[in-house]
Each structure stands twice: as structure tokens, then as C-alpha cells.
Amino acid sequence: MSPRTWRIGVAGLGTVGGGLLQFLAERPDFAPAGGRAVITGVTARSRSRPRSIDISGIAWFDDPVALATSPDIDLFVELVGGSDGPAKAAVEAALKAGKPVVTANKALIAEHGAELAALAEAAGVPLLFEAAVMGGTPAVKMLREAMVGDDVVGVAGILNGTCNFILSEMEQRGASFADVLGEAQRMGYAEADPTMDVGGFDAAHKVTILAALAFGCAPNFAAAEIEGIDQVDLLDIKLAKDLGYRIRLIASADRTADGVAVRVHPSLVAQGHPLAETRGALNALFIEGTRIGRIFIQGPGAGAGPTAAAVAADIADVMTLPTRPVFQRPAGDLKPFVAVAPTRRVGKAYLRLLVKDQAGVIAAVSETLAECGVSIDSFLQKPVEDAGGVPIVLTTHAIAESVLTDAINRIEKLPAVLERPRLLRIARI
């Protein structure tokens, strides 16, 4: 029997969609087990928009749902984006029609992954999303396939290249957040509305997916604790460097006795650590298992080439591999996602205070921390030009976050303190 030709429908012809069309036009027989992948239908917001690849010979659909259910496609690729709307409707329609789905949509999987997994498994078709996390770097396959013989206890890393570029440039050039963000937008690293990236939501979608794969639980984006980098001050980057740290946006998921803790925070990472040395738009991830130990992967997290390569790899899996559960175990067996309350978290912290230049300030702060049960690990007082006061930086020993919050609330009320103390976590990686 001759190798099968797979007819592919692609919704979304932006950077990734264009890269995928270009790749499959050049290498339709790329799949290792043989067969061909041919684009037979496309849809996008605009039919007339100039594109780098000719789509005149491909059937055009105005409605993504019509493409997803067309009898002229065998596999549906969703690259539209967004957790709801046309993307969700089209993916649901494709799965109900018994068609395999490949998507790069991290918001869709993080927010609706469990219900979509149930649809896919009821229809007996794959739902694959390698490109949704870390672009072309195979984080999803690592957890869904390579780690099934181990018990994963935690994942942590840098999952948003835009934020990493901004923090790296602020440190290297001494530029403000606003200045570097503007440059990132001009270079195409950041969107005109950068909220999803700099607000930490993009990284939270991704680590929610990784948590579901790692721990066999239903994705629960609503349970993620999220803080972005929009409030990271250049002053903190300079002071952290003096203490031997770099600031990175760290996304992590940990399995504890109380449940699963999923969080995204700007955090201090010790200089020389692989995550501290991950610069520019790169992504990086640690996976820790009880048997294998720690695995580190690093690579490009976005871009036409890497992300399209990840989509193509999923297409090849549909063409060559048997269907497996979407999140390591059948949808009906996914454990409920029990979130750990943020106040119960214990860890080291960085506190930066801006105080008046007067006698007794340090004693008052130290006394307040002692009364709250917060132990100081290190202390730094360093005059900084144009800071508006005297910066004092403290790092603490491991402490419950509820205790630390109480201490911050009390310090803020001291007469010599000019603003609410700035809290940053020190990464436990």
C-alpha cells in the first residue's frame, strides 16, 4: 500500500502559520515513517493580506469551524490564538468530527484543556500542543513521553522570551523598564499591548500546562499565582546584582503534601546559575524527578522557525504514532487540581526599603522584623543617586509568606519609611 497523504487544514496564517506552510511546501514527506503532509485548506482574518508564501492554490475558508469540519481535511491545525472565540469553537468542532488537532494555543489548553482532552479521547483522536510551551524546545514531549517512567516533583524555568529580553537588557544597559519595553516592541519581541507577556499571564498559561502534564491533574489556570515584571525597578536590578543575583521571571510548579503550587514571579536567581545565565529571548526549564534527578533544557521559545518546527513535529506524531492520553492519563482519571494557598508558602525573600536618611531607621526596621519572627540573612545599605531616599536591602532566611506579609505591613507604617517595601522572592532552584 502506498504511503498515505494527510490533508492538513490550517487556521491562522501569522508568523507561525506562514512558517508551517513554507516548511510543508518544501518538505511534504518530512515525517519519519513516510507519508505526505499537504495543506489543502486555510483560514485567517484577512484573505488579501500580503504573505511571503502563495496560498492561491489552497482552498480558502472564511469560517474556521467550516475548515475544521471540512471533509477535505484529515487533520486540523489551530494557530489563531485566544482561549475562547473562533479558536475554541474550531478545535471543539474538529474533535467532535473525529479529526486530530494540533495547536500552539497555550491559553486554550491552560483554560480548557481538560474538557478538550475529554472530547479528543471520546473521539479516539490526538490533541497535541508541543508548540504551546517553549516554542521549538520540546518541553511538552519531555513531560508527556520521556518522563512517564518517573515521578515528577517540580518544574521551574523561564517561559517567556519577551520578559527575559527586557530584564536582560535592563541589567546590561542600565535602561528603564519603559525604555527597554519600547525597544522590544520595535524589534517585534513584544506586542503593541504587552500585558499578556509583561503581566506574567503568558508564562502562567505555559506552566499551568506543564503542571498538568507533570502531575496528572486537570489544568487550572485560575489557581495560578501570577505577578509580572511591570513593577520591576532598575534600582532592584542593580541592588540584586550587588548581592550576587539576577532578576528573572520564574514560572514554577511544585507538588507538595498540600497540593500543587503553580506560580509566576520575578525572582532573584544566583549569578552563575543556568537560569541567571539565560539571556535575551531564550527559554529554559528544569524538570526534577525522583529517579532521574534534574534535567535542564534551553532553547528558543518563539519565532516562525522554532514554533513551526514544533507544530510539524506534532503533525508527524499524528501521522506515525498511536494515540495516547492528552495529559499522561485518561481525561476521566485526571486528578483535581488542589492549589496551595500562597500564604502557606515558605521561602527566602528580598526586601527593599526606601527610607529617610536619619538615625535609628535600621534599628526600627530590625526590631519590627524580629517581633514578627523574620530572620535576616544579609543586609545592604548603599546610597543610590536619584533614588528619592536611602535604599536598604534585606534578604531573609526561609519564612512563611503570611509572616513576611505581616512584617511588610508593619514596616510600611514606620515614620521613616517612604513607601511600601518591595518584595521579591529568592528562587529555590
CATH, residue 120: 3.40.50.720
Give yes or no: residues 214 and 290 share one domain.
yes
Please check whether residues 287 and 362 belong to one and the same domain.
no
What are the pLDDT digits (tens) for 144-157?
Answer: 999 988 999 999 99
Indicate whether 75 belongs to any domain.
yes
Helices (H) and strands (E) in the chain — how many of each?
13, 18
Q: How far is residue 414's CA from residue 391's CA, in Å, rounded to a whole number?
A: 15
Residues 247 and 105 in one domain: no
Residue 218 sits in the same domain as residue 111: no
Claim to verify: residue 157 and residue 87 sit in the same structural domain: no
- pLDDT for residue 103 is more than 90: yes
Residues 221, 361 within the same domain: no
When pLDDT is averaged across residues 396-402 and rounded to a whole number, the result is 92
Q: Are the C-beta atoms of 253 and 154 separated by less than 8 Å? A: yes
Question: Does 295 lie in the same domain as 212?
Answer: yes
Whether residue 313 is contained in a domain is answered as no
Rounded CA gap, 266 and 391, in Å? 19
Pairing status of strand 390-396 against strand 376-381? antiparallel
Closest listed residue to residue 164, CA positions, set 295, 286, 305, 276:
276
Q: pLDDT, tens digit, for every residue of 175-208?
A: 999 999 998 888 877 888 899 999 999 999 999 9
Expressed as residue numbers, the domain containing 154 is 139-300
Is residue 90 within 8 A of residue 64, CB to CB? The reply is yes
Contact 247, 169 (CB under 8 A): no
Cα–Cα distance, 96 to 120 (Å, whole number): 8
Sort residue 69 into left (φ over 0), alpha (ψ -120 to 50) or beta. Answer: alpha
**Residues 153 and 287 reside in one and the same domain:** yes
pLDDT over 80 (residue 20): yes
Distances (CA, A) of 40 to 67, 137, 240, 305: 10, 28, 53, 21
Helices (H), 257-360: 304-320
Q: Is 314 inside a domain boundary?
A: no
User: Is-catalytic flag, 206?
Assistant: yes
- The per-residue pLDDT of the chain, averaged, comes to 92
Name the H helices within 216-295: 234-242
Are both 288 and 153 inside the same structural domain? yes
Q: How many domains does the chain have?
A: 3
Check: CB of residue 49 under 8 Å from CB of residue 76: no
Alpha-carbon Rg of the chain, whole angstroms? 24
Catalytic residue among 99, 206, 335, 382: 206
* CATH number of the domain encompassing residue 413: 3.30.70.260
